[in-house]
Amino acid sequence: MKKRLGFGCFGLSGAYGAAEEATSRRTLDRAFELGITLFDTADSYGVGHNETLLGPFVRAHRDEVVLASKFGMVRTADGKNGGLCGTPDYVRASCDGSLKRLGIDTIDLYYQHRVDPNVPIEETVGAMAELVAAGKVRRIGLSEAKADEVRRAARVHPIAAYEGEYSLFSRDHEDDGVLATLRELGIPMVAYSPIGRGWLSGTLQSLDDIAPGDMRLTAPRWQPDTFAHNRAVSDAVVAIAAELGVTAAQLSLAWVLAQGDDIIPIPGTRTVSHLEENVRALDITISPENLARIAAAVPKDAVAGSRAMGALRKK
């Protein structure tokens, strides 16, 4: 992948408002042209739509891209949250469904999207290991698992990557033991929402900027009692970025990249222009003095509202 930058495909299936498929395909093609080779999807994104959308693109570049997908967050046919499932039978069925939608024989990196509290993680990871042995999956990973769950999983099968939300607006994993555990075990973190689901782009001025159907409208950080506070925090990032001659999104991505070579941001976008803006963050080096300024402007407790997205995904 291009200098530790991947592409998160969640937004291409309506999570943040309508996405036009022809535009999405152009954005994927441009990402590949720019050297990005890690593309992240899940069976729950658009209830399978995302994998179906990515299929032709992945097949066209099969030997040059790393395709990551996920299972475990059940969605009903109308897209509603159906809870979590990590049973071995569900793992096997989910993998077969993803392979069929993608039109490929092997998933490069297969994550458990969320840990099922009713199924020991050893059983779930054991089933994932069987998929590796069967040649359906090359490597396995975890997403948003707790530190002790990562350790237990790693005793069953090597964990190739951990996907977690990480940005200036979401730094929980610095304090909950996850990041320390990953580094102890040599597991890289794939950081989703590294631009804070848009907060750190500096483009959100009011709740009216969020389109109907956008999942953020139901989330704690985008409510009438939290929006103004969080906009003020993001404005501080915008001000520092402007002084440095970069965009807020670029500065935010550069900050994530500066946290360690073992952290791989996967920003997502629906447009080529934002994609190209994001990629230019790879050329930014933040001085220690400016890293300190950013830390002072956005301390860990600066953001109002939890990072949960939807009532059934509270942290």
Distances (CA, A) of 223 to 119, 158, 192, 219: 34, 40, 22, 7
Q: What is the CA radius of gyration of the chain?
A: 19
- Judge whether 192 counts as a catalytic residue: no
Active-site choice (45, 90, 110, 162): 45
Q: Are 275 and 31 in contact (CB under 8 A)?
A: yes
Contact 204, 214 (CB under 8 A): no
Residue numbers annotated as active site: 45
